[in-house]
Each structure stands twice: as C-alpha cells, then as structure tokens.
Structure 1
C-alpha cells in the first residue's frame, strides 16, 4: 500500500481503569498492523508509556500535535490532556470517566473534520462517563448526535450480521417502542449499509419476533401479529427481501441465519446473546447509518481482569480490520454510484 493511500485510524482510549488501553497497545505492538493503517490514539503519551511498561510492550509512541501530522509506520498519539491520571485498575471512577470522554470528544471532532478516516472506540464505563456533556446510554447515541443520521447497532463477523430494532431500552418498554415507523426506518438503514459497506446488491433480511414463538398467532402477546407481520408484508409488497417474524429461540440453533445477509433482532439480548455465543470474541460492533465509519470491540471494560495482562485483543483487532474494510467499501460504492450517474447524464 502506498503511503498516500494509508488510512488514518483514530482511536478513543476508553476507560483507563479497564482493558481498553491494554488491547489498544497490544494490537499495535505487532508492527505488521502498521501496514494496514496509520493509528492515531487520542489520549496522553505519558500515561500510555506508563501502561506500555505495565504490559511489558515495546511499541514506540510518536507524539504529534495534530492528526494531519501523523507519521505512517508509527503509532501516533495526540495529547488530549496534560494532567496526571491516577489509575486504579478495576474500579469505577468518575474522574477516569472524564478522561474517557475527553478522548472520545477529541476523536469524534477529528472524524467530523475528516482529519481521520475511521474511528475505533475502546470500551467506556457507561456510568462513570456520564456528565452534562455525555448523557447517553453508550457510544452509539452520542455519535448519532455528533455525526448526524439515524444510527443502528450492527454486530458483525464475516458470516453473521445482527442489527437491533431497540438497543439500550428496558425490557418492559420494548413492546411500546417498536412501531411500524421504527421497523421501516431500521430496516432501511440495514439495507443501505449492506449495499454500501458490505457489497451486498440485494439484501435479504430476517426479522426476529418480539414475543416467544413470535406470539403464537396472538396467544402470547399481540405485537407480532399487529405490528411486525403487517409491516414486513408492506416491505415485501414493495419488493424488499424482508422475512419473518421468526421465533428467536430456534433461529440461530437451526443455523437459519446462514440463509440471510443480516438478521434484525427486536431487542438487545435477543440479538447479542446468540451473536456473542457464535462469534467467540471475534465480533465487532459497527454503528450503521452514520456518515462516518465507527467500529468497536464487542465487549466492555472487563474490570475483573484489568491490569492483569490477560485481555484478549482479537475483537479489537477485528474492529480495526473491519473499520478499514468498511471505509474502503463505502468509498468504492460512492465512486461507483457517481460514475453510474455521470453515465446517465445526471448532475451530481
């Protein structure tokens, strides 16, 4: 890859009391990773050098003052803060949450300005990061506000993609939140991302039911009969390849998911439990629907093993690779679409 083509990959450091810094530094301790992208960590070089020693790593950190000055072939660090940080691995600390937000805020600002091409976020603690500036249930909602667009949490591996109708919604509220409008909106997002980001020409999508056995024809709740089925029919009548609702308890066990380009679950655990069971730590969280590319590992801060040099980097490494792949596919799709419009004599 020519240096001029090197993708600038921004990284927010997450909660420093968790495993985020460990998986970031260990990933780029392997110098071969620098053949694929130019990493830019938004954090503080002093604390990262301390953590590098903690984990007995040899990765060299290149301090830069702006992402535009990132050096290809190096692990670059933009100093987002100058203060000393007191790290206590495994502890919830609102002070550490402030640094997590400052890293995310700086990285997101650079993404908005196209100073970086892709953002990979290390795990945050959703309680300690809360403040007047960040009052969201997670990264996804914050990024949707900052970047614009309708977001959808899409968990991905090479062979499985699971999206969510509702993500961080209390179980008791799910039936009231799922409306025909929400279903159509989320399915449209997943259709567009499959086309532009994953090179799927005619997406085929499965929808999982809300209630056990998809309601058993109304015996176990009316939502599947009254909301999901009519909406899916509307979409199919328009020519969309959308099918369901399928009973969630057997859908993955029978490997029915292999017949579809993506699966959309009604709520968080309905989709994420089977996804994480099948992905074995290789899954990636991708925020579909935004005008920029953001990925993250499919796990949290893992406070129970933080600082013990035991963290598995596979999911974070996959998040890096998937971010790069999606960025390239999206650019290819945009170029192809523009070329087609030009051939048709339409003004772009």
Structure 2
C-alpha cells in the first residue's frame, strides 16, 4: 500500500505557523504509511529545523513539482520563495489531481492573501474556488464536543437573511460527514441543531426562522437517514451535561458555535475541518499570533490535532 501524502503549509513568515508545525512534527514523529511535505520559506528558524531533524530524515527541494518526485522514507522540505498563499493554491491543485491526499494548514492572514494578488478572503475561499465547490462548511473537532457552522463569516445583520431550509439542509449533510468520521461511540449520537432565536423562537413568538426551517428539516433528515434533534435552545445547548448527547452541534452562525467551542477548548486545541471539498483539509483553530513570533511560546497542540485528523481522514477515504 502506498503512503498517504500530506502537505503541511506553515502560513505567514512572521507568524507562529512554522514554530507550531515543527513542534508538532517533533511530538508526533514519523507516522507509519504517511509521507509529509513541509512548505516553509528560506528564513525559517534553524532551531526548529533541527527539532524536526531529531525525528525525521529530511530532504530539501525548491518546489512542489520536485517534491512529488521524492520517494522513500523522507520528510520532503519545500523551501519556497513563493507567497504562503500560493503554497495553499499549489497544494489544493495537487490534491485535486490526486498527487497529494490531504493538507493541514497553519494560520494565514487575510492581508497576506491580498498581497499575493488573490481575491479570496481565506483558506476556505481558496479551496472553494479551486475545487469549484459551491458550499463548504467549517467544522471544528474538539476533545469535548464538535461544531459545524451553517453560515460562515457573516455580519449579524445578515444572518437571518441566509437562514433557509436549503441552507440548513446542506449544512446538515456536511455535519453528517463529520459525524461519520467520529469514533463509533460518538458517531451513534444525533446531530444537535440549534435554533436561531432566544428560546428557539417560542413557536414563532420570538422570530419565525425556526418555523420556516425545522418542519421540513425533520422530513429531510429522515429521508437521508441522518439522526438529529432540534431546534435546541441556544443558551442551554452547551451545558456540560449535554456534551455527550450529541455527535455534532450544528450552529446557525459563526459566534453561536465558536464562542462555546473556544471557551471550552481554548485557542491552542481543537481542529478546523473543511467539509464539502473533495479532499482532506484540516487546520489549526487559532490565528497567526504575531505578537509571540520568535519567542518560542506557541502551543503546538492544535497543529498536532490537525495533523492527526488529516492522517485519520485520509485513511478513512482509502
């Protein structure tokens, strides 16, 4: 059986991406049946390269084309003068061509993407554009619970306009993809779908979105054989006693899901998973943290989790 080939992009040159990736690789060490491809710039810290070399046989190349020719038990180090935004593009294209099996990404600033000449707002938009995928949902896997966002980076004033049966049904399908990737004990639990309004609308007395969506959603979930419960009351859904009741929480807007997720898991753990694209992409669940760049303070736990999830998901797709 051939190795799973997973690319690691390290993000902004002046962010913590390379630090957390190097620390994660040192912690994980070589993985059976996996070949890593590491994107970084030529100013990457020699200290962290030495950390990687304690565990891996590393071979340095200039670009992805050369990297893909490397066989054997090597970590392929792509020392590139391209923008990190273009690393993501090149990796996604290689995943589409089945030259790579998946990718795990460190944080990439929107400013850097713009400076690279791209119009995309983030990783997700780059991946949507290249894969020609209409709908991609952000999933977040944590040690205590998992979250999928039905809508993305929308202003609060715009959220209600985007809540419809079709929007939530598409999100439920992708939440089910995450559910099916979970361990058996968790996979058997239903997906908990949150309401939008306080008290989930109180039967239309506090907003009508729930009445518009959920009656049809129940029939849709039954047809697709997706176990689900909802609408859950948003201010009670994340009580600790509820964490084990659901495989995934499907939340209707960004902060509804990410405030509780980050409150419980912190900014240095948890994994972001792109749901809906035709290849595996995982990511850290934190930003570039440029304020601690070069200070050796960055916690690698989220990148460790992102790499582990990337390996497991690519193996599940075999």
TM-score, normalization by structure 1: 0.80
1:322 and 2:312 are equivalent in the alignment: no
Q: RMSD in angstroms over aligned alpha carbons?
A: 2.4
Deviations 1:138-188 (A, max 9, x none): 211221221233321110135522101101111110000111111111112
Give the SS at the match of 1:127.
helix
User: How far does residue 234 in structure 1 lie from its aligned partner after superposition?
Assistant: 2.7
* Residues 213/136 of structure 1: CA separation in 2 closer, same or farther (3 Å cut): farther
User: How far does residue 228 in structure 1 lie from its aligned partner after superposition?
Assistant: 3.0
User: How far does residue 253 in structure 1 lie from its aligned partner after superposition?
Assistant: 1.5
> Which residue in 2 is equivalent to 1:47?
43
> Which residue in 2 is equivalent to 1:144?
128
The 2-side partners of 1:322 and 1:132 are apart by 29
User: How far does residue 31 in structure 1 lie from its aligned partner after superposition?
Assistant: 6.9
* Residues 254/41 of structure 1: CA separation in 2 closer, same or farther (3 Å cut): closer
1:109 and 2:102 are equivalent in the alignment: no
Q: How does 1:279-298 map to 2 (within 5 A)?
A: 279-280=265-266, 281-298=268-285
The 2-side partners of 1:315 and 1:132 are apart by 26
1:100 and 2:96 are equivalent in the alignment: no
1:26 and 2:19 are equivalent in the alignment: no
* Residues 318/135 of structure 1: CA separation in 2 closer, same or farther (3 Å cut): same
The 1-side partners of 2:40 and 2:154 are apart by 31
- The counterpart of 1:250, out of the listed 230, 236, 256, is 236
User: How far does residue 131 in structure 1 lie from its aligned partner after superposition?
Assistant: 5.4
Contact 1:283 1:297 in 2 (8 A): yes
* Residues 199/79 of structure 1: CA separation in 2 closer, same or farther (3 Å cut): same
Q: How does 1:177-188 map to 2 (within 5 A)?
A: 177-188=162-173
1:222 and 2:208 are equivalent in the alignment: yes
Contact 1:235 1:242 in 2 (8 A): no
Q: How does 1:116-131 map to 2 (within 5 A)?
A: 116-130=100-114
The 2-side partners of 1:57 and 1:108 are apart by 28
> Which residue in 2 is equivalent to 1:87?
none
Contact 2:96 2:278 in 1 (8 A): no
Give the SS at the match of 1:300.
coil
The 1-side partners of 2:227 and 2:26 are apart by 44
Give the SS at the match of 1:255.
helix
Contact 2:89 2:126 in 1 (8 A): no
Contact 1:13 1:103 in 2 (8 A): no
Q: Who wins on radius of gyration, i.e. which is larger?
A: 1
User: How far does residue 68 in structure 1 lie from its aligned partner after superposition?
Assistant: 2.4
Give the SS at the match of 1:185.
helix
1:10 and 2:10 are equivalent in the alignment: no
The 1-side partners of 2:107 and 2:25 are apart by 17
Which sits farther off after the overlay, 153-162 or 205-214? 153-162
* Residues 213/11 of structure 1: CA separation in 2 closer, same or farther (3 Å cut): same
Equivalenced residues, count: 306
* Residues 240/21 of structure 1: CA separation in 2 closer, same or farther (3 Å cut): closer
Contact 1:210 1:266 in 2 (8 A): yes
The 1-side partners of 2:198 and 2:3 are apart by 48
TM-score, normalization by structure 2: 0.87
